[in-house]
Amino acid sequence: MNQNEMEPAALTWIKMECAQMRSRQGVPVETIAVELDTSVEQVQQWLGTLQHTGEKLTELYRRQLFNKRCAKCGNLIPEGTTYSDTGADSYHSECWRKICYGS
């Protein structure tokens, strides 16, 4: 495989993965920089970026956990939307109205 044909972004991603892996193994940032033939600042940036990505994923996962699903239409009830909660089930306000008064 010709390395020159590799997407620069993909190559950067591989180096980021390597940097994170070596960091977890306790390898100093300076050593990682030498191994990957890059600067210490670059490695620190990669590690920082990866950490940030992880936080974002956790935040997404947390949101998904807290998202309620409407028991009538089955769609998610987005945060900030008014809804009715019967204790066991949650409904969009509109769906709840349809159940109570018919459509």
Residues that bind Zn ion (CB under 5 A): 70, 72-73, 92, 95
Residue nearest Zn ion (C-beta atom): 70
Smallest gap from Cβ 84 to Zn ion, in A, equals 10
Nearer to Zn ion, 22 or 92 (CB): 92
Least distance in Å: CB of 76 to Zn ion?
9
Q: In the bound complex, what is the minimum distance in angstroms from residue 62's beta carbon to Zn ion?
A: 23
CB 82 within 8 A of CB 95: no
